[in-house]
């Protein structure tokens, strides 16, 4: 198989959620059916022989023997091979070199004089037209060599000439200022013809940014098409291939947002997974009713999917609507600050028109009211943060505004500041005074009167 676990590790959220099973039928790890109208082969499909890398005690240490064959297992003579050499060491960094080779009449080539060390990694690649075929990475052991079996297949640019289908996943996470998207496709090539995409594009929602392709050990990848989306590239030989990327969209403080996606060809199943607060809902046009589940962190997620059915047109695009998005931002706490400031300004306007005593009483009253408003807002803000209705960034910025406003009010009212120091903590009781020193403690109760 060409799918690699390392790619999934680079996107840990999708690695766990791609197999999420909110219903028993959601989690069946089988290859998708072929698109409607695609020719169905007679009899059970045969699994093509897999490329492999295996230790070979009969080969001398520091050697790699490569056998290149076609889809029928026949030798491919006189073909050029490239041996990529990667040296990695913390003290010296990373260095890349390569060696060239060519297969003989039996389709065999041998590379010798290599260094058997964990600091060196080797990889065999060959090209056939627009397609590139590569082995898994190889680390040589000191006591033996390695034997590699590598296939080349007929190549087509037309996806309809290859038995290719795909299962796709879109994961959406709502953050303070952005929506974070992670996208994964699992392509299955169940025939004997390699597909090399030529115009396989996926359009992304308008305004997307921060595109990052997932790591992969083959040439299969998504490339950025600025302001449009991404383009699917690489060699989809028989087997499974995982390809992924992530991007972001700016988020406004609104309760509902919608996103539109165009899809590459031959998508037989598409799932949309959204991390969701209790108030949030997910709606994807033409998809099944969303099912609620939890992810590996115990967070609520909503999952929906669409399966291709025979006789239906191929899924080419879909729209997503997220509603009920929590929207408390710093605005309400800034408003509280402005209200407190206006109260103080109002007091200043009448300064001099009232007596000193009356001025002081009004000042204390307004400052006390403003202080209570800010304390109530701090409590609400903390509760919203603990319940996950606002993120850490919004929480910290709003809390900073409130604390600064509270400090200004207390600094303008020395009497109020003294009372605040004596007041018990919010939600608690007065702390008992420590009893110490040489002064006797008068007992309480009836006996104290004696």
Domain with residue 383: its CATH number is 1.10.132
Give the torsion through C-alpha atoms of 39, 42, 44, 50, to 10 deg.
-60
Please answer whether residues 265 and 232 qualify as being in contact, where contact means their C-beta atoms are separated by less than 8 angstroms.
Answer: no
Residue-level pLDDT at 216: 83
Please answer whether residues 327 and 394 qualify as being in contact, where contact means their C-beta atoms are separated by less than 8 angstroms.
Answer: no
207: containing domain? 5-23+158-323
Structural domains in the chain (count)? 3
Residue 201 and residue 280 share a domain: yes
Q: Establish if 431 belongs to a structural domain.
A: no
Q: Establish if 439 belongs to a structural domain.
A: no
Residue 134 and residue 170 share a domain: no
Out of 299, 323, 347, a domain closes at 323
Residue-level pLDDT at 20: 46
Query: Residue 421 CB: number of other CB atoms within 10 A?
Result: 8
Residue-level pLDDT at 355: 53
Residue-level pLDDT at 1: 40
Out of 90, 119, 152, a domain closes at 152
Task: Give the predicted TM-score (pTM) of the model.
Answer: 0.67
Residue 256 and residue 184 share a domain: yes
First to last CA, the chain: 94
Out of 131, 152, 173, a domain closes at 152
Residue 270 and residue 347 share a domain: no
Residue 369 and residue 262 share a domain: no
Q: Establish if 121 belongs to a structural domain.
A: yes
Residue 257 and residue 383 share a domain: no
Q: Are strands 209-213 and 239-250 parallel, antiparallel or unpaired?
A: antiparallel
Residue-level pLDDT at 74: 95
Q: Establish if 40 belongs to a structural domain.
A: no
Q: Establish if 226 belongs to a structural domain.
A: yes
Residue-level pLDDT at 44: 40
Q: Establish if 203 belongs to a structural domain.
A: yes
Residue 110 and residue 58 share a domain: yes
Q: Establish if 445 belongs to a structural domain.
A: no
Residue 300 and residue 166 share a domain: yes
Residue 237 and residue 319 share a domain: yes
Question: What's the 3-state SS for the chain?
Answer: CCCCHHHHHHCHHHHHHCCCCCCHHHHCCCCCCCCCCCCCCCCCCCCCCCCEEEEECCCCCCCEEEEEECCCCCECCCCEEEEEEEEEECCCEEEEEEEEEECCCCCEEEECCCCCCCCEEEEEEEEECCEEEECCCECCCCCCEEEEEEECCCEECCHHHCCEEEEEEEEEEECCCEEEEEEEEEEEECCCCEECCCCCEEECCCCCEEEEECCCCCCCEEEEECCCEEEEECCECCEEEEEEEEEEEECCCCCCEEEEEECCCCEEEEEEEEECCCCCEEEECCCCCCEEEECCCCCEEEEEEEECCCCCCCCCEEEEEEECCCCCCCHHHHHHHHHHHHHHHHHHHCCCCCCHHHHHHHHHHHHHHHHHHHHHHHHHHHHHHHCCCCCHHHHHHHHHHHHHHHHHHHHHCHHHHHHHHHCCCCCCCCCCCCCCCCCCCCCCCHHHHC
Q: Along the 450 residues of the chain, how does pLDDT read in single tens digits?
A: 443 333 333 444 554 444 444 433 344 434 454 444 444 444 444 556 789 999 999 999 999 999 999 999 999 999 999 999 999 988 888 999 999 999 999 999 999 999 999 999 999 999 999 999 999 999 999 999 999 999 999 999 999 999 999 999 999 999 888 999 999 999 999 999 999 999 899 999 999 999 999 988 889 999 999 999 999 999 999 999 999 999 999 998 788 999 999 999 999 999 999 999 888 999 999 999 999 998 877 889 999 999 998 888 889 999 999 999 887 555 555 555 555 555 554 545 445 554 555 556 656 666 677 777 778 888 878 887 776 666 676 777 778 888 887 787 777 666 656 666 555 554 444 444 444 444 444 444 433 333
Domain with residue 200: its CATH number is 2.60.40
Residue 265 and residue 205 share a domain: yes
Residue-level pLDDT at 25: 38
Q: Establish if 146 belongs to a structural domain.
A: yes
Residue 109 and residue 216 share a domain: no
Residue 300 and residue 180 share a domain: yes
Domain with residue 109: its CATH number is 2.60.40.1120
């Amino acid at each position: 198989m060409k799918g690699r676990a390392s790619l999934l590790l680079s996107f840990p959220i999708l690695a766990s959620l791609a197999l999420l099973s909110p219903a028993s039928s959601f989690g069946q790890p089988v290859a998708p059916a072929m698109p409607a109208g695609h020719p169905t082969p007679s009899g059970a499909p045969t699994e093509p022989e897999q490329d492999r890398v295996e230790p070979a005690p009969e080969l001398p240490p520091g050697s790699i023997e490569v056998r290149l064959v076609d889809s029928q297992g026949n030798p491919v003579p006189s073909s050029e091979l490239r041996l990529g050499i990667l040296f990695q060491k913390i003290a010296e960094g990373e260095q890349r070199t390569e060696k060239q080779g060519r297969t003989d009449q039996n389709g065999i080539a041998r590379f010798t004089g290599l260094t058997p060390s964990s600091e060196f990694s080797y990889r065999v690649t060959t090209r056939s037209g627009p397609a590139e075929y590569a082995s898994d990475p190889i680390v040589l052991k000191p006591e033996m060599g390695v034997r590699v079996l590598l296939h080349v297949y007929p190549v087509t640019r037309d996806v309809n000439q290859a038995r290719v289908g795909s299962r796709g996943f879109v994961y959406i996470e709502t953050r303070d200022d952005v929506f974070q998207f992670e996208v994964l496709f699992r392509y299955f090539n169940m025939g004997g013809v390699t597909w090399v995409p030529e115009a396989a594009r996926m359009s992304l929602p308008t305004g997307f940014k921060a595109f990052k392709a997932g790591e992969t050990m083959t040439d299969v990848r998504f490339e950025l098409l600025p302001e449009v989306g991404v383009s699917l590239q690489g060699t989809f030989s028989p087997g499974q291939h995982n390809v992924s990327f992530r991007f972001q969209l700016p988020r406004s403080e609104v309760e509902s947002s919608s996103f539109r996606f165009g899809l590459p060809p031959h998508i037989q199943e598409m799932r949309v997974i959204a991390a969701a607060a209790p108030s949030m809902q997910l709606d994807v046009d033409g998809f099944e009713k969303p099912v609620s589940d939890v992810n590996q962190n115990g967070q609520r997620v909503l999952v929906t999917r669409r399966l291709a059915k025979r006789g239906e047109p191929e899924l080419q695009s879909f729209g997503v609507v997220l509603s009920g998005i929590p929207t408390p931002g710093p605005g309400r706490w800034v408003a509280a600050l402005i209200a407190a400031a206006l109260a103080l300004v109002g007091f200043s306007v009448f300064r001099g028109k009232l007596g000193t005593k009356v001025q002081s009483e009004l000042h204390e009253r307004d400052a006390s009211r403003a202080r209570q408003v800010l304390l109530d807002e701090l409590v609400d803000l903390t509760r919203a943060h603990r319940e996950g209705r606002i993120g850490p960034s919004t929480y910290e910025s709003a809390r900073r505004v409130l604390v600064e406003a509270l400090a200004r009010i207390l600094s303008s009212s020395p009497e109020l500041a003294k009372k605040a120091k004596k007041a018990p903590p919010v939600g608690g009781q007065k702390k008992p005074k420590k009893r110490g020193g040489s002064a006797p403690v008068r007992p309480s109760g009836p006996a104290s009167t004696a």
